[in-house]
Amino acid sequence: MNPLIQMSPEVCVVLGGCLVCLIGVARRSSARAVTSSVALVTLVVAMALTAWYGRPGDAIQPAGLLITQLSMYVRWITLIVGVLIVLVNAGTPADEERGEFFGMILFSIAGVMLTGCANDLVVLFLAVELVSVPTYILVGLSRTDARASEAAVKYFFLGALAAAIMVYGFSFLYGAAGTTVLRGASGGSLSEHVASAGRLTDFATIGLLLAFAGLSFKIAAVPFHAYAPDVYEGAASSVTGLLGFLPKLAGFAAMIHLLTAIGWQLPTSLLWLLWGVAAATMTVGNVLALLQTNVKRMLAYSSIAHSGYMLIGLLVGPALGAGPMHDGVAALLFYVAVYGTMNLGAFAALGSLTVRDEPAETLDDLAGLSRRAPWTALALTVCAFSLMGFPPTAGFLGKVYVFSSAFSLSPWHPFRTAMVVLVVIAVINSAIGAAYYLRIAAACYLRDADGQSRVSGDFMLRVGLGICGAAMVVLFVIPKPLVDRARYAAAAAHPRRDAHVSVVELPPS
């Protein structure tokens, strides 16, 4: 069998994106209207192809790609959340821009899926850029006013800077290893280079530092977070929901790939640096979110804060066979999927509201929403509680997994005390965060009904919003399917298992 058949889900999504772009130039408006449905069908077909052909464990792998349980996890959650993203955005673009708009969403989704499969620095770089470049265009397309184009300019130039820093780092990693392959048993690879040197060489350390600096932009971590509030405010709400998921998942997947290649053996200085970044990210995000009255800016800072929590999982690293309570990477992968859904839900709720034909943005707009639109208010509140980490929502489980994974480090681990301190900082931050998420819920339910917002979103948007809200409760009750897949995915990132071994028989849970 041609090994490229394993890449058929990605190929399907890219071809679907091209098709959608072509339909978008049709003369008749009724033809352009089907673009969102074509995008949905593409994603469903890609899911079927993932189920049939995307089998990890085949010995022959396409060049530069390695399909492991981690790739499968990234594919599945990208496709599933991708369907929600298309539903939520179904009514966002102007009529004549529908083709480009949904095409770009599909290209970005294909980029995230490729990031999950990348086993080569060039492929990883191109995949991460395939995620980012369409999002710059989406921000610009999402609205016609000056704020969207200003946001697109800021997002593009800072994103291009981050990409250049990242690939500059990749060039040093290449210089250290002599090859661009990340993992592999034969013919040289970065993992082999690190294993034979026994430590990170100087070039590899510089490369890793620069690559992580560039990737911090994708996940909106301090000190590369400054763009997030402006871009989130400038773009339309439903596009903002996707900005919090696709680049973040791609950034974390790329970080996991790099750390797996070096066997999770970070030098102490880099570990402390990441520790500081995690602590600063969650603190800056939560404290600045408290000062906002614009809900979109508030959620942008909340997005920064959540990256800080997820970095804890990355610092803890994988633990073979353990559940997400003990396995940092499994906890991180679970959290990023849950975060993507609840964040999308919160922005979808905002996107469905208008105030005198302008999009609703401030807390005042939401005042008394429960009496005007009880279902939208309920979905928004569920998502806000989930972001806060309050049971009975999946956000609570995500926080529990990430925080508890830090405590499961063995007592003689040199970094255990530092990680426990980091978790204490994270818990304090969650308490700070509760203050502003509760303001959203309180505005909906407790304030007088003097807000002006009305529900005006289309049917697809409301379906997407409903699924996001319901998923938060359902995942709290039945987290096992997602948790198990996150666990298998984390096992693929474990250094003790060779890349090819990691993909075969995993114990059924």
Binding site for another protein (CB under 8 A): 121-122, 125-126, 129, 133, 136-137, 140, 145-147, 149-154, 156-157, 160-161, 163-165, 167-168, 170-172, 174-175, 178-180, 188, 229-230, 233-234, 292, 294, 297
Q: In what order do the strands lie in the sheet with 353-355?
A: 358-359, 353-355, 454-455
SS3 354: strand
Other Cβ atoms closer than 10 A to 61: 20
Minimal distance in Å, beta carbon 238 to another protein? Answer: 18
Q: Which of 121, 333 has the CB closer to another protein?
A: 121
What does the angle CA 147 – CA 152 – CA 155 come to, to the nearest 5 degrees? Answer: 120
Residue 354, φ and ψ in degrees, nearest 5: -130, 150
Residue among 126, 118, 102, 116 at smallest CA distance from 43: 102
Residue nearer to another protein on the CB measure, 37 or 171: 171
Identity of the residue, 155 or 390, whose beta carbon is nearer to another protein in the bound complex: 155
C-beta of 149: minimal distance to another protein in Å? 4
Closer of 193 and 494 to another protein (Cβ) = 193
Please give the Cα distance from 227 to 241 (Å, whole number). Answer: 15
Q: How far is the CB of 30 from another protein (least distance, A)?
A: 27
CA-CA-CA-CA dihedral for 84, 90, 94, 100, to nearest 10: 60
Minimum CB distance to another protein, residue 131 (Å):
13
Q: 101 CB contacts (<8 Å, ≥6 apart)? A: 24, 35, 89, 92, 93, 138, 141, 142
Contacts 24+ apart (CB under 8 A), 270-274: 270/205, 270/208, 270/209, 270/212, 271/315, 271/415, 272/418, 273/209, 274/212, 274/311, 274/314, 274/315
Toward another protein, which CB reaches closer, 288 or 388?
A: 288
Residue 215 is encoded by which pair of tokens?
């990737």
Q: Which is nearer to another protein, 174 or 436 (CB)?
A: 174
**CB closer to another protein out of 47 and 121:** 121
Residue 134 Cβ vs another protein, minimum distance, rounded to whole Å: 9
- Cβ of residue 93: shortest distance to another protein, in angstroms? 14
CB of 168 to another protein, least distance (A): 5
- Minimum Å gap between C-beta 46 and another protein is 23
State both tokens at 79.
């496709």
HEC string for 250-319:
HHHHHHHHHHHHCCCCCCHHHHHHHHHHHHHHHHHHHHHHHCCCEHHHHHHHHHHHHHHHHHHHHHHCCC
